[in-house]
Every structure is written in C-alpha cells, then in structure tokens.
Structure 1
Amino acid sequence: MPVHRVNGTSLYYEISGRGTPLLFIHGHGLTHEMFQPQIDYFKASYQVIAVDLRGNGQSGKLQAPSAKVIDIQCEDLSLLLGFLGVRGAVLIGADYGGILAQRFAYLYPNQVRALILADSLSKNTATSPSEKVWRSLWLVSQLANYLPGELFLRSLKVMYNRWDLAYRIIRKSMLHKRTSEMLVQSLATNQVDYTALLPLIRIPACCIAGDQAETDVRNMQDTAHRLPYGEFATIPDAFHLCNLCQPELFNKLVQDFLEDRTAER
C-alpha cells in the first residue's frame, strides 16, 4: 500500500472507493486499522482515506517537541490531501484523531467540509475542582498504556469483555506500540483547549460517544455545544472507541449524518 514522503517523514495510507472523500484519523497509540469496519462499509459509496499519523503504525518517526506535535501532524494531513488531489474531505477522528480533526478544521478550513468526532475532547485543561478530579482520572487511564504488555492486556480484556472486536484491535496495536512516540503525543494533548477555536469552525459537525463511557459523553456534549453546527449523539451499549464496540450502529449514524448534512456542500 502507498507510502508518501511528506514534511520530512513518510506517511502510510490506504485509499479506496469513489465519491465524497472521508479521511479517517485514528486514536492514541492505534493505527488506521481501528477503522476497518468503517473502511469496509463506506468504500462502496465514498472515497475512503485512512492514514497512520507520523509516529504511529507504518508511518515514519515523530521527532518534535510536544507543543508542536498536533500542528505538525495536521500539516502532514494537509499535504497528503493536496498530493491526492482532495479539495474538501469529511474528517472522521476518534479519540486523539478527533483532537487532530478539530485543529485541522481550524488551520485548513478550505480542506474540510464536515467533522465527525468520536470519543474525543476539545478541552483537556482543568480549572474547577470537579474538572481536576476528572483530569486526574484521565491521566491515570493514560498511564495504563505504558504498563508491561501482560498487565495492560489483562486489564484491557476486563475493560472490553463485552466488546471483543474493540479488544482485539486495541490489543494488536498495543503489542506493536511505539512507546516513546505515544508519550510525546500524550503530552501534546495535556494542554489542549479549543474552546476559543470551536465557534470559528462553521461546518456541519457530529460528536459521538459510547453511552457506557461517561467522560466521553460529557466531553462530546460540551464540544457539540460549542460548535456552531454541532450535533451530539450516543451509541448504545458502547464504550470508548464506540466505532469498534458497535460498528453497525456507528456506521448507520455516520451514514445518516453524511446524507443529511453534507449532500448539498
């Protein structure tokens, strides 16, 4: 599959189908493979582009200070879309990919026609006591990514015991994780606060969370509220990475949004 030299590194990507371009942006420590159920579903009617961000999967090294990581990865994607001749894509980002999608829509508005954000956030700074509690819990959850493989996979199996597909795809990524580059990307999210940027992103946006992930629900509700054309939806009986917990329901929700909100753009 193609590898494109861009911005001093290499980006691995897969492209298939024809129609409105959909750019899938994966989550923290994962790869384009986390969207395989969506790639298989949407490639019949859309042009599907799935990429490994630099520092992840089969793409090149991430060598940048944490404060610049997100903007550099956004620039990578912008250049890739230009290389592919894509003028306006729907960005579909999960977890860390959703953070990137928001920043990309702000930096490169002419390259984006809509946003679909899943299990992500737009503000990762804490001010109130309750926010500081949730921030502490989030940091603890991130540390689990750096546990020795056996310990992490054991806890992962318990967490995703009802969602085997999600477990298997996360497990595969964690067995091949690039720990130092994961850490830099974690640090890059530590001070994310896009609350001032969101009102400027004036395109259709759908913010999705699994109903079993309370933090994701709260974050996606807040993000949708701040986006001028934001909508919020939940996926029933789904946890973090709801596209893998309930792929059929997720695909149907995204399909409906695309047909209702982007057909005329």
Structure 2
Amino acid sequence: MPSVEATGAKLYFEESGYGYPIIFIHEFASDMRGWDAQIGHFSRSYRCIAYNARGYPPSDVPEDPQSYGWELAVDDIAALMRHLDIEQAHLIGLSMGGYAALQFGLRYPERVGAIVAGSVGSGCHPAHRDAWLRETSVPSRIFVEHGMVTMAERMARGPARVQLKYKDRQRWREFILRLRQHSPQGMAKTMAHCQAARPSLHDLSHQLSDMAIPVLLAVGDEDTRCLETNLMLKSELPNAGLWICPNTGHAINLEEPAAFNAQVENFLGAVERGSWLRGFPATATIPSLVRSRGARRDHSLIQIDQETEGADVVRLHLR
C-alpha cells in the first residue's frame, strides 16, 4: 500500500496518469474517493495524486491530539511532494483541503503552479466566527460518543449538503457510505485541532494580497457560510478568479462534476498558456517611468490600466 512518512503519521496516497502533477486535497467530510470524477477526467492529461489526510484511514489515525492541525496539513503536502520528487504542482482542494492549499501557497509559492480552492471559508467570516468555534466543539465529541453512522446521516442532510441528494441520489448515498467508514476519533481530532484552531482567512488578507499564484475560487451559491469569504478572497488575491455555481451547496465537485471539471480545465489551460490575467488596473512600482515624468521618487506608485485587446496605449495614473 503506497504511503508517505509525514510528521507523526503515515499518509496513504494513489496516483494515476502522466504529465504535469496535480495534487488533490480532500475536504473534512470526505476523503480521496471524493475526487474520483476529477481524477478520471484529469488523469488523461496530468499526473494526478490524491491522498487521505491524517485521521482518515487507511492513513494513520494518531492518538496524540498534537499530531493534528492546519500547519501539519500544509506540511503533509510538502512531505508528499518530497516523497514523489515533485518540484512544482497544481493544487486542487475542497473546503479544508482548499484552505490547506492556500496556506501552502503562502508558505511555498515557488512550488505551486496554480491553486483551485473550492468551497473555502466555513467559519472564517468575522460575524460567524464565535458561533463557528462553539459549534465545532460539539460535533467533535459527538463523533466519538455517537459514532459515524449517526453523524454521517446528520451531516449529509445539512443545509449546504442536501443539494446533492436532490441532484444525484446515488452519489449522495455513496457520500453517506464513505462518511460511515471514517474514523470517529480521526474526525473528532481533526475538527477540534485543525478546523476549530485554524486562523480565519479574513485575518490573512494582508498576506493573501501579496500572493501572485493564479487561483480559481469555486463556490456554490447556496453555500452561504462561504460566499462572503470568497468575495473577500477575490478582492484580496491579486491573481484570482471567482466561479459561483448556481443552485449548488458545499460539495461542488460532487454536485456538478462536469461543470467543475470544465471550469478547472479552462483555468489550468489559461495558466499554462500564460493568458490567466486580471482584467482591471493593478498597482505596481515603476520608478523609472514615474521619474521620467518628473514625479518624486516617494510617489512612485502608479496605476497601470492595460487594454487586454492588444492596444498599444498604457495609461498611467499618478497616485
């Protein structure tokens, strides 16, 4: 069984296909099997790697609570890349996995080609933060006290999950069956020590504004806990696009696999062609241009408004 040695845990992984690597990072309520529709599609053109996070069998389920946390989730991506001798890869993550992908991009920008962050932001909005922290302390106990059968049914019928049932009852049943197979101890420790303890994305806005990695944000319009945070991320990330999928909840890649795959494929293609560019004015420092117009050095920030249809004129607006 293929596995990688990470800090305090062995992580199970699978890979298929050839080409530039894509690493798939699953959400809290799923595991690598949730990416089957994406791996089946993208492995025709890419080397696809998916793994189970710590706490999700057949990866290890450590007893020590200190062996869980968002920092370790970021380290696990790096450990997987080292093990597979991957210098750079695209990262595709959902929810908890999307958060880890963004944090990895902040820490190792040179090792990331592009990031797809789906359904990120649960519990991140400042107005909902206190309620989120209270809520995450309750299910972390229930996982152990009541087991995964009870929790799987409850989670699958949540307000941002039930959309899958309406769209694809078979895939919804498979989602429940996978949830029932998860480790209650692993889920409880992941919830308490990773989900609840991670910094809000809103608190990272200054750092995110300096991250130039191409990012596709994907969110369902019925995933109400994530919508505002994705709008914030769109405004802060300098090289991000936002796709909002209609009538869709949290498990966007399960609910709308064809649409999700198409959006991701178009995004990665644009990145690889060099045509993934923001279309509105960006702030840049070009002292030589400003000085040539007689401006003072300490006023060298300018706005560059570039016409995207090949125009020769670049309008410079002194700030």
- TM-score calculated relative to the size of structure 2: 0.73
Take 2:27 and 2:52, find their aligned partners in 1: how far apart are those partners? Answer: 10
Higher relative contact order (CA 8 A, sep 6+): 1
Distance 1:103 1:71 in 2: 8
Unaligned stretches of 5+ in structure 2? 276-319
Match in the other structure for 1:244: 254
> What does the per-residue CA deviation read over 1:94-153, in whole Å, with 9 as the maximum and x for residues that have no partner?
011011111111122222111100011287263xxx435864796499679736555444
Against the structure 1 CA distance between its residues 88 and 240, is the aligned structure 2 distance closer, same or farther, given a 3 Å change threshold? same
After superposition, residues 22-41 of structure 1 pair within 5 angstroms as: 22-41=22-41
- TM-superposed CA distance for 1:189, in Å, is 2.5
Q: Deviations over 1:6-56 (max 9, x none)?
A: 334211111111122110000004210010000000000111010111111
Question: Which stretch has the larger CA shift, 255-264 or 37-46?
Answer: 255-264
Gaps of 5+ in 1: none
Aligned-partner Cα distance in 2 for 1:100–1:43: 22
Q: Quick one: which amino acid aligns to residue 131 of structure 1? A: H
| Counterpart position of 2:195 | 189
Distance 1:145 1:113 in 2: 39
Q: Distance in 2 between matches of 1:263 and 1:66?
A: 42
Name which of structure 1's ranges 136-145 and 51-60 shifts more when overlaid on structure 2.
Answer: 136-145
Per-residue deviation, 1:237: 2.9
What pairs up with 1:53-202 in 2 under 5 angstroms?
A: 53-63=53-63, 65=65, 69-121=69-121, 124=124, 126=126, 130-132=127-129, 135=132, 139=136, 146=143, 148-155=147-154, 156-157=156-157, 159=162, 160-162=164-166, 163-164=168-169, 166-187=171-192, 188-190=194-196, 191-193=198-200, 194-202=204-212
Q: 1:207 corresponds to which residue?
A: 217
Label 1:140 to 1:69 Cα distance change in 2 as closer, same or farther (>3 A): closer
Amino acid paired to 2:97: G
Structure exhibiting the larger radius of gyration computed from Cα positions: 2
Return the alpha-carbon distance in structure 2 between the equivalents of residues 151 and 211 of structure 1: 28
Distance across 1 between alignment mates of 2:174 and 2:141: 17
Mapped partners of 2:100, 2:240: distance in 1 = 17
Matched ranges for 1:211-230 at <5 A: 211-230=221-240
Give a deviation string over 1:43-91, Cα, whole Å, max 9, x none. 0011101011111131112355469611122212212112212111111
Could you tell me which amino acid in structure 2 is paired with residue 185 of structure 1?
T
Distance 2:34 2:16 in 1: 16
Contact 2:91 2:116 in 1 (8 A): yes
SS of 1:12's partner is: strand
Task: Determine if contact 1:66/1:185 at 8 Å carries over to the other structure.
Answer: no
Cα distance 1:67–1:10, how it changes in 2: closer, same or farther (>3 A)? closer
Displacement of 1:166: 4.6
Distance 1:166 1:137 in 2: 31
**Map of 2:281 onto structure 1:** none
Question: Aligned partners of 1:69 and 1:219: how far apart in 2?
Answer: 21
For the 8 Å contact 1:213–1:238, the answer to whether it is kept is: yes
Structure-1-length-normalised TM-score = 0.86
1:45 to 2:78 alignment: no
SS of structure 1 residue aligned to 2:86: coil
Percent identity among equivalent residues?
23
Q: Distance in 1 between matches of 2:83 and 2:149?
A: 41
Partners of 1:237 and 1:246 within 8 A in 2: no
Comparing 104-113 and 183-192, the one that deviates more: 183-192
Whether contact under 8 Å (2:220, 2:246) holds in the other structure is: yes
Aligned residue type for 2:79: L
Worse-superposed segment, 152-161 or 164-173: 152-161
